[in-house]
Structure 1
Amino acid sequence: MPASSNDAPTPVKIRPTQRVHSAEIPSGSDLELRQRIAVANAKLQSAAWLIEVLEDLSRCESFVSACHLVTDHLRRHLSAQRVVYIQAETDRPNRVVAVTDTPAIDQESDLARLYCQVAVECADSDQIRIASAVLAQPTESIVGYAQQQLSENQGDVLAIPLFDSQSEPLGCILIVGRVGTLVSHDGLTEFASAIRGPITSVLSQNQRAEGGRWEQLRQRISGLTPSRKLAVLIVSVTAVAAMFVPVTHNVTSDFEVQPTTRNFHVAPFDGLLREMNVVAGDEVVPAQCLARMEDRELLLQIDELNAKRLELAKSQDQEWIAHRAAEAVAAGLQIEQIDAKLSLFNQRLARTELNVSKAGIVLQAPLEDRQNVPVHQGDVIFEIAPLEQLRAAALIPGHDIHHIQTGMQVDLDIDGLGGSSIMGTIDRIMPQATAVNQQHGFIVHCTIDNRDGRLRPGMNGVAKVDAGTKSLGWVLFHRPFDRIARWW
């Protein structure tokens, strides 16, 4: 049976083969055009940034604020870690004026000195230089030693020296970034060269407009109203007249309370120190027992000598009875030797107690924490000073010693007395200068009456010596004038 039309096979549709086309590759002229557009955009952005910075600088009231503004703008624009401005000085060392991440910097610190050294190197070369650890080791003719050292410690360092219109160094800008960030920044050196001139011009104008201190003072006075100018004139005349007012010239110095005399108690003989009855700081009275020496060995020796003497005395009597005069005389000589030893041992026995001869305070007791310690004759066991009369030892500097004389009154303000002071009189000036706590001067002694017992040796305070009457101007300025005279 023939097949029906419904059973006929469905014709297959054949699709055309799809081809994959390669991506279109721009030609060399397109790449060059894009690069030019990118460079132009970067220059436009830099120009807009520079215009904004110059506009802000024109509103700055001082040179220091202008330096801070420049460093802040550079840090934000370049995404740097730190920007530093170092001001060049003609008659003084360079100084760090502005640091972005530090409100104040110590000019004597090692980091500030390193910044200033980099500025000096850049001023000598007059070149914009960049140092980085990712670059090949540069020669000293390209990057100075200080800049290379700073780069090793902090990262990439770009140094931009600034010069005024007379080619005199104005300062230096240091831009510090992480390692590799500044080196990889395209056109950074060209950007620094482009902004150096305008920024230098504006900063130089700010510095000239600010002027020196006298110029600033003159500008402030000229801006005052007539009434305020009159007030300034009256105050100035009054200040000058006050320089001739006679005042008391006081020479001040630190002092220490010291004893006038010191009594040393030493070991009377070689032996053992059995006990100590006082310690440093104790007050003692006459006849008080300070310490005791061990006496058992002395007592044994005395008993032994007494027994031997008794035996010799009996032997001598027997020799006399037997009419042996020579033997009797020899026994008598031995008895005399024993008597001499007994006298010595009895004297030592009487001195086993160390008693106070004069009332005072124990200053030192080196063996106070020891018992049964062996000592030798002459070893210091106690140092005692009387308290009825003390002295203040003040160190007067050499430039003031010629104003000091014996007999001058001294006001002693002693620490620990609640602000009360004691009057004294200078009774001795040491003839030779000495050094105390790295300060040179002459020791001046002032006797203090301490019968009330308020003072102790070792107390400190401030001594104010009445050196006569001088004019206020002389008191304030005689020392600077003396230094200038010696220098001149």
Structure 2
Amino acid sequence: MSEPLASALPPSPAPHAGDGGVLRLSERALQGLLRERGWRAATAALCTELTLALGCRRVALGWRVDERVRVVGLSHGAQLAEHPVLGGVAEAMQEAMGQGLTLCVPRVADGAVRITLAQRALMKREGVAAVLTVPLAQDGEVLGALLCERDEGRFTPIDIIAMEDVARTVAPLLRLLHESELSWRQRWQRGWRAWVAADDPRTRRLRQLGLAAALVLLAALLAVPLPHSMQASARVEGAEQRGLTAPLDAYLRQLHVRPGDFIKKDQVLAQLSDEDLRQQARSREAEVAQHDNAFVDAFTKGERSQAAQAQARAAEARAQLALIEQQMARTRITAPFDGVVIAGDLSQRLGAPLKRSDLLFTVSPMTGWRVVLEVDERQITWVQAGQSARLLLTALPSQPVELRVQRITPVARTVDGRQRYEVIADPVGQPPAGWRPGLQGVARIDLPPEPLGWRWGREAWQAWRWASWSWF
């Protein structure tokens, strides 16, 4: 859109010392401003055009941002880096904007009283011959300022009139360009500040109505009971869990499952070493054969007492052999039911010795579930059996599950440096497909409706009471 506007303006004449070139300065400023796209490029082009037209050493453009003046454009594409010189330029612009007057040093005799301390300080620091600062304003609001510096000669009254005309011409367009590049947050802030600062009767009435509505809404929030809930981490467990232990002292020879594997009833989960038991079984078999032979020999010879003793010893050897065979059968760790392995990773213990009663696996059937909620000790008094809750699992975020609190365990444990109680809850209805022990998520326990004011006041009182008790 800027290119057609720029092309519609007459071409810029070459700069010269005559008054005609200066009087057409507004047209040249507009051409420079509309020639470029974007806020930064347009301000730099405007400053460059004014520098060439007025024969200045440098022209700078300042803009009011958050009640401060920032240099946003320099002639000849100079970089806007943080520098003490730019600080002096901004102070000189602020001086002119604060008075709402054009400041020129050396002064042009017009009879008006003007404060030019920052202008003179800048002129002395930069070593220039003259400084001219013209505020940019629209509808009585000062938006920024243009500052010009010359190495030789003063600014004439015609120069000042021409720059003031430029300021009136480009101020609205500069404002549009600046606002077009503001973010939505900055635009909202500007609109809010303007609405608050407005002093017309209609705006005051709207402010009063808005304040009254906000007070009514706040009172309703503080006084009307509202439903609320408390949050707790949760994990899924089987309603029944069974631990499988080592039946005897042995070595772990084979491992067939790991945590998370589904199992079938009587499936072999692990195999313990049985070499010692096999050797004992062969020894007992030899004893049985020896005692049977002794019985037959004594019975043949008619030695009844010797035959009875041999028969008793053979029976004892058979009993010992049966016990050894039973122990050998128990070296095969099998699943007691269809389910899933939820604990017991023995992959790094193959060949390691096991003691009798060492826990090998924890298994759970795939029927019957419970959910364990970990509630902070500061909130445990709010939980009661029978309360409803909702669970959202990390693995199933699109399938919330309704829960019912069953009981609160009386034992607390430390989790992440805080004491937490385990609350047992059961799913209401059939859980969704994909449930399995070990899944974790977040649960929200529904609490009785309370006004926000009462709830916040209670929590603040509890925090103050605890702090005062701990510190004093």
Q: Which bracket does the TM-score occupy, shorter chain normalised?
A: 0.5 to 0.7
2:329 maps to 350
Counterpart mapping for 1:442-461 below 5 A? 442-448=421-427, 453-461=433-441
- Which whole-Å CA distance do the structure 1 matches of 2:337 and 2:323 have between them? 26
| Counterpart among 402, 407, 428 of residue 381 in structure 2 | 402
- Which whole-Å CA distance do the structure 2 matches of 1:336 and 1:401 have between them? 63
Determine if contact 1:406/1:427 at 8 Å carries over to the other structure: yes
Determine if contact 1:411/1:465 at 8 Å carries over to the other structure: yes
Determine if contact 1:249/1:475 at 8 Å carries over to the other structure: no
Q: Closer, same or farther in 2 for the Cα pair 1:287/1:314, shift >3 Å?
A: same
Q: Closer, same or farther in 2 for the Cα pair 1:237/1:395, shift >3 Å?
A: same
Determine if contact 2:238/2:367 at 8 Å carries over to the other structure: no
2:41 maps to none
1:467 maps to 447
Determine if contact 2:407/2:424 at 8 Å carries over to the other structure: yes
Identity of counterpart residues, as a percentage?
A: 23
2:244 maps to 265
Q: Closer, same or farther in 2 for the Cα pair 1:453/1:332, shift >3 Å?
A: farther
1:445 Cα deviation from its structure 2 partner: 1.3
- Which whole-Å CA distance do the structure 2 matches of 1:412 and 1:451 have between them? 11
Q: Summarize deviations over 1:18-77 as a string: whole Å, max 9, x none.
A: xxxxxxxxxxxxxxxxxxxxxxxxxxxxxxxxxxxxxxxxx9999xx9xxxxxxxxx969
1:374 Cα deviation from its structure 2 partner: 3.8
Q: Closer, same or farther in 2 for the Cα pair 1:308/1:400, shift >3 Å?
A: closer
| Counterpart among 368, 371, 394 of residue 389 in structure 1 | 368
Determine if contact 1:292/1:352 at 8 Å carries over to the other structure: yes
2:267 maps to 288
Q: Summarize deviations over 1:409-430 as a string: whole Å, max 9, x none.
A: 0111111213321001000112
2:459 maps to 479
- Which whole-Å CA distance do the structure 2 matches of 1:280 and 1:450 have between them? 24
Between the two proteins, the alignment pairs up a number of residues equal to: 286
Q: What is the DSSP-based 3-state SS (H/G/I as helix, E as strand, rest coil) of the residue aligned with 1:399? A: coil
Counterpart mapping for 1:110-121 below 5 A? none
Structure 1: segments with no counterpart, 5+ residues: 1-58, 66-74, 78-219
| Counterpart among 358, 373, 379 of residue 358 in structure 2 | 379
Letter in 2 for 1:314: N
Q: What is the DSSP-based 3-state SS (H/G/I as helix, E as strand, rest coil) of the residue aligned with 2:223? A: coil
Q: Closer, same or farther in 2 for the Cα pair 1:229/1:268, shift >3 Å?
A: same
Determine if contact 1:394/1:443 at 8 Å carries over to the other structure: yes
2:211 maps to 232
Letter in 1 for 2:417: Q
Letter in 2 for 1:457: P
Q: Closer, same or farther in 2 for the Cα pair 1:374/1:481, shift >3 Å?
A: closer
Letter in 2 for 1:390: W
* TM-score (normalised: structure 1): 0.50
Q: What is the DSSP-based 3-state SS (H/G/I as helix, E as strand, rest coil) of the residue aligned with 1:303? A: helix
Q: Closer, same or farther in 2 for the Cα pair 1:349/1:244, shift >3 Å?
A: same
- Shifted more, 406-415 versus 307-316: the winner is 307-316
- Which whole-Å CA distance do the structure 2 matches of 1:401 and 1:371 have between them? 44
Determine if contact 1:319/1:328 at 8 Å carries over to the other structure: yes
Q: Closer, same or farther in 2 for the Cα pair 1:280/1:311, shift >3 Å?
A: same
Q: Closer, same or farther in 2 for the Cα pair 1:266/1:482, shift >3 Å?
A: closer
1:328 maps to 307
Q: Closer, same or farther in 2 for the Cα pair 1:460/1:365, shift >3 Å?
A: closer
- Which whole-Å CA distance do the structure 1 matches of 2:242 and 2:286 have between them? 40
* TM-score (normalised: structure 2): 0.52
Q: Closer, same or farther in 2 for the Cα pair 1:286/1:238, shift >3 Å?
A: same
2:49 maps to none
1:251 Cα deviation from its structure 2 partner: 1.5
1:436 maps to 415
Counterpart mapping for 1:57-456 below 5 A? 225-295=204-274, 297-369=276-348, 371-448=350-427, 453-456=433-436
Q: Summarize deviations over 1:362-419 as a string: whole Å, max 9, x none.
A: 1223323554544333222222122322322222233332222101101111112133
Letter in 1 for 2:331: T
Letter in 2 for 1:269: L
Q: Closer, same or farther in 2 for the Cα pair 1:313/1:257, shift >3 Å?
A: same
1:131 maps to none
- Which whole-Å CA distance do the structure 2 matches of 1:425 and 1:303 have between them? 59
Q: What is the DSSP-based 3-state SS (H/G/I as helix, E as strand, rest coil) of the residue aligned with 2:285? A: helix
Letter in 2 for 1:439: R
Determine if contact 2:342/2:438 at 8 Å carries over to the other structure: no
Q: Closer, same or farther in 2 for the Cα pair 1:308/1:431, shift >3 Å?
A: closer
1:453 Cα deviation from its structure 2 partner: 4.8
1:348 Cα deviation from its structure 2 partner: 1.7
- Which whole-Å CA distance do the structure 2 matches of 1:301 and 1:388 have between them? 42
